[in-house]
Structure 1
């Protein structure tokens, strides 16, 4: 348990930040799930729209440090190639 005032404040800040990051990560996963479902359904137009919505959300999460920038780029790249293959 924290003893000093600064350590207590730090634990409060960490708890708040953890909640925010959990919400952001959950939001990103929701967007990714929508893309996955659209790809699974075989609807190229829906998949394209879902990817267009998911990409900025992933990059925003990377910018905020919720996910690593390379991870976000890799996910976008792989989803984009799958959507492209679907529409071709």
Structure 2
């Protein structure tokens, strides 16, 4: 339990940051899921469009500290190669 005023304030800040980060992570996962669904349906044009929409969202998550840069790069690389393979 937080005892000092600083630790109490930190606990309050942590809960608010948790809510913001959770919303961001959920938003990014939604974009990634749209790409996955387009790949599963076999529609290359829809997959490309979804990938283009997901890329800035994923990188925004990196700049906000929700994801690590390498994690986002790995996800983008794997998704783009799968979209490319649709043909």
TM-score past 0.5 threshold: yes
Find the counterpart in structure 1 of residue 29 from structure 2.
29
Q: TM-score, normalised by structure 1?
A: 0.96
Q: TM-score, normalised by structure 2?
A: 0.97
- After superposition, give the CA deviation of every residue in 1:33-83 in whole Å (9 maximum; x if it has no partner): 000000000001000000000011001101111011000000001100111
- For the aligned residue pairs, the C-alpha RMSD in angstroms reads 0.6
Q: Which structure 1 residue ranges, 4+ long, deviate > 2 Å from structure 2?
A: none
How many residue pairs align between the two structures?
87
In structure 2, distance between residues paired with 1:2 and 1:71 = 33
* Structure 1 unaligned spans of 5+: none
